[in-house]
Amino acid sequence: MSELGERLVGLLARAVGEVAARRALEEVTLRLGHDPSGLERRHALEVLEELAQQPGILGTTALFAKSRIYLG
């Protein structure tokens, strides 16, 4: 996974654990047709938007992670 992808894992892992965060990110990234090893900022925001639609803590955490990516 790219450096940005690892950052996203870290942001989500605080709430759902590293394994679940990594699995969710990889699944959505691939489903959207992006390469996890070359994840760009615009793709990361798209992935987080998709994850934010999930119910529960993962969706809520994805919303906060999205704001962190926007802010840099």
For residue range 15-54, list pLDDT tens digits in order. Answer: 999 999 999 999 999 999 999 999 999 999 999 999 999 9
* DSSP alpha helix (H) spans, 1-72: 3-16, 18-31, 41-52, 57-71
| pTM for this prediction | 0.90
Question: What is the residue range of 44's domain?
Answer: 3-71
How many structural domains compose the chain?
1
pLDDT band at 1 (very low <50, low <70, confident <90, very high): confident
pLDDT band at 72 (very low <50, low <70, confident <90, very high): confident
pLDDT band at 68 (very low <50, low <70, confident <90, very high): very high
